[in-house]
Chains A and B, each alone.
Chain A
Amino acid sequence: MINMQPYQNPTYFLYLLVGLLPIMIGLLYGRRFKVYETIISFVFLVLTFGGDKWMQGVSIIGYLICELILIFAYLHYRKSKNSTGVFIGAVVLAILPLVLVKLTPFFAWQHLSLFGFLGISYITFKVVQIVMEIRDGTIKELDFKGVLHFLLFFPTISSGPIDRYRRFIRDYDQAPKQEKYLKLLGKGVFYIFLGFLYKFVLAYLFGVVMLPYVSKMALASGGISKWLVAYMYVYAMDLFFDFAGYSLFAVGTSYVMGIETPMNFNKPFIAHNIKDFWNRWHMTLSFWFRDFIYMRLVFFMMKKKLVKSRITMANIGYLTLFLIMGLWHGLTWYYIVYGFYHAFAIIICDAWLRFKKKHKKQIPSNKFTEIFAIVLTFHVVCFSFLIFSGFLDTLFFR
């Protein structure tokens, strides 16, 4: 049986076009064929998790059964009771499979890698979000088929963007008006073609043509060299165009299906400061961390008056958020350093913004300072990606 990874080659897009055609026609007439959507989603999931990847297919089924039992058991519990201990237990259980998968390479427990499958992180983010919203009382009812469609929505299964349950269900439960769908369809097709440019032209140019060369030269020069600087820029460009390209495919495909999956990137390299950058880069992930980790933690600290100073509180929040984000990327020193680096960058940024507010009159603000801010932010970010790439590990420690 054949296996196909999402958006990897022209054949996949051809299948996508054929598979989505009936959905497009239905939506153009204001109808959503839910049974057909379920069948076609299943077909695409089998393409991704079948064939020689069948072990991942088994993992994802086992994983889903556990998580669905957890979600519905917690929902049932929450209807009559609301203990913090049970809530924390539910969150821990929800992330446990992901934690085990992340620990596998660290301890080299080979047999455990059986649990892993493409996109486990992204489904886990969605599950945790549902559990937290059940706790908050913003989700009171769950539709089994709706949850399944949300968790397994195939255009975003491998790497997001991370949608929100209530937002997704609103789209999924109805067909958009014809006029609106025409606009969505136009945008969706445009995004997919922009994705081709990003992923198959620009990411290819930076990642496949240039990166191996600068990498070889930097390793040959050893230590800090102009080639290392070149590597930093090339890697940053490759990372952006590759991931933004993929995200455009995922969002574009969703739009074609009449689902407004949120965008993941918004011109990140014109950010004016690091805070602004995180509102533009991998947005659905940073907003997830903001809403479900940072804000909840700060809310808790403030309500219980655990910490007096609001500055300290914000900084504890940043450190927690970025350390978890670093650990989530993987248990290596460079991902953890990457997390701390961004936490400190944002702490410094906040301090600067406070200083700026106090001295509004003395600090100039013009076209030049604006360009300076953008260039500085870009370089702070590029350096963080150099840490993230693991290239420094290869260069200095291998």
Chain B
Amino acid sequence: MAVNTAYAGRSYAPTEPYAVGREHVREFALAVGASHPAHHDVEAARALGHPDVVAPPTFLVVVAQRAEAQLIQDAEAGIDFSRVVHADERFTHHRPVHAGDELVTVLHVDSITERAGIAMVTTRCEISDAGGMPVASVVSTLAVRGEGA
């Protein structure tokens, strides 16, 4: 089944809040080899002016991925995950993410283009905090190979 290009331009309702946990920040930092003390030690983070441990720059993939599931797991969208390759990813932070943040995400499908049997699906997650202040944008492009590609 081909990717449904009619999904381009679609936006979704805000997600339920995602609670950023201190242990999860530490675990994610360990998994990517981020050993800076501000990821692990609350006092080291506070010494740099942060309220709690700082999430690594790519941590928000965890949050974005949950929001993107609204599109990916929608059978009508026609995205066969076994034929997906991650093409690009970009995080733009308006402020750092810390343990204790409650994050709400609005998913946008910015574009779906097809070329030579490959569909490029670009999504954008606009992530804000409990007070509605913008925290970050996460833009991700997936390449979905068609049956013949």
Is B a genuine binding partner of A?
no
Partner-B contacts on A (CB < 8 A): none
